[in-house]
Amino acid sequence: MIHTTFPDRAVMAELVAKMLWEIRAVHFNAAQPYKLSSGMASPVYIDCRKLLSFARIRSTVMDFAAGVVLRDAGFEQFDCIAGGETAGIPFAALLADRLGLPMIYVRKQPKGHGRNAQIEGNMPEGSRVLVIEDLTTAGGSMFKFIDAIRAAGGIVDHGIALFYYGIFDEGALRFADGKVKLHYIATWRDVLAVAKAQELFDEKTLSEVEAFLDAPLAWSGRNGGVSSL
């Protein structure tokens, strides 16, 4: 199924933010911050894997993803779609189906036995590959998959995340230095805008979340987490 409609970018971002709130995939808690794997303290948390469990939302998000890719990257720019282990794999399958393309997936590490493969599926040398992840914070995990594909002879000029934190300067620099154009649908700013519009939290919580988005490491340091990465 090839998707060929192109909703307004702001509409897509707002709708995805609303979906995330509807299925309780995002959370705000400034009083008891979440501790991230990096050691950061954060008043926000997201689990994009929940999108897979809701058929109408899942289908709409993948339609949006296909529209973003076709409009911003082109119609004949890719030979296959790659998902990163593990969360990116089902979304890669869904997007590949939308775009009528083959799919591969990339392990975090080589398999360790058999052919010791890190890439599963058929990827001829020189294939133009679009890498998809459910979310990216600053691009670190996505580039592990991109580097593996490039090492195997694939060409990666584009990546897509359904959700992009959009608050770390390191992220923009990493994608620029790695010569990869990152496409995405929604960010934390979109989620915060919906929370404000729907009055989902008190003003103090919303203000703390906004302060975190403006200066995440400084906020983390004030709230018991690391202040540098």
Annotated binding-site positions for 5-phospho-alpha-D-ribose 1-diphosphate: 107-108, 111, 113, 133-141
Are 99 and 111 a contacting pair, CB within 8 Å?
A: no
Binding residues for orotate: 137
Query: In which residue are the tokens 């018991």 written?
Result: 224
For residue 192, the tally of other CB atoms under 10 A from its CB is 21
Are 46 and 69 a contacting pair, CB within 8 Å?
A: no
Query: In which residue are the tokens 């282990």 written?
Result: 85
Q: Name 120's bridge partners.
A: 105
Nearest to 129 by CA among 143, 141, 146, 142: 146
3-state secondary structure of 35: strand
- Classify burial at 116, counting beta carbons within 10 Å of its beta carbon; exposed 0-12, middle 13-18, buried 19 or more: exposed
Contacts of residue 161, defined as CB under 8 A and 6 or more positions apart, other chains included, come to: 132, 133, 134, 135, 136, 142, 182, 183, 184
Binding residues: 107-108, 111, 113, 133-141
Instruction: State the Cα–Cα distance between residues 120 and 77, nearest whole angstrom.
Output: 21
